[in-house]
Amino acid sequence: MAYKILLAEDDIQLIDMYKRKFELEGFEVHVAEDGQAALDQLETFTPDIILLDIMMPKVNGLEVLKNIRQTPDKQDMLVIILTNLGNEATSEEIYKIGATDYIVKADMTPIEVVNKVKEILKYYKK
């Protein structure tokens, strides 16, 4: 069974790069290019995990995460924040809102991101 992932990211090059890497690893990948599109997709699609950028148009990633955590049938979804905002204040806010984990994009290659996601899925989806 392939894991299903929602990739919410507004950078088209990153979308293409991550989408290809995840598909090569057997993931079913759905893409949302802004926060509102991510929320819309979650109405009909239930991913195993969400990779969520913070800085997106329409609705930012932190607002998407807040919405997920306040929605009873979605509040337990695995959500990894994917960002370049790697400071301590951002980290604290991300965890306070309820992110499963977060990844600083500049610190990891796409395959390292895929491997991190696989580790998290292995841990939580036992």
pLDDT digits (tens, 9 = 90+) for 52-106: 999 999 999 999 999 999 999 999 999 999 988 767 777 888 989 999 999 998 8
Name the β-bridge partners of 78. Answer: 49
Enumerate domains of the chain plus CATH numbers. Answer: 4-124 (3.40.50.2300)
Residue 11 CA to residue 77 CA, distance in Å, equals: 23
Q: Dihedral (C-alpha) 106, 87, 41, 45: value to the nearest 10 degrees?
A: 80
* 115 Cα distance to chain centroid: 14
H or E segment to which residue 82 belongs = strand 78-83
Label residue 61 exposed, middle or buried (CB < 10 Å: 0-12, 13-18, 19+). buried
Asked whether the CA dihedral 43, 61, 5, 101 is positive or negative, the reply is negative
pLDDT digits (tens, 9 = 90+) for 5-62: 999 999 999 999 999 999 999 999 999 999 999 999 999 999 999 999 999 999 999 9
pTM of the full structure: 0.92
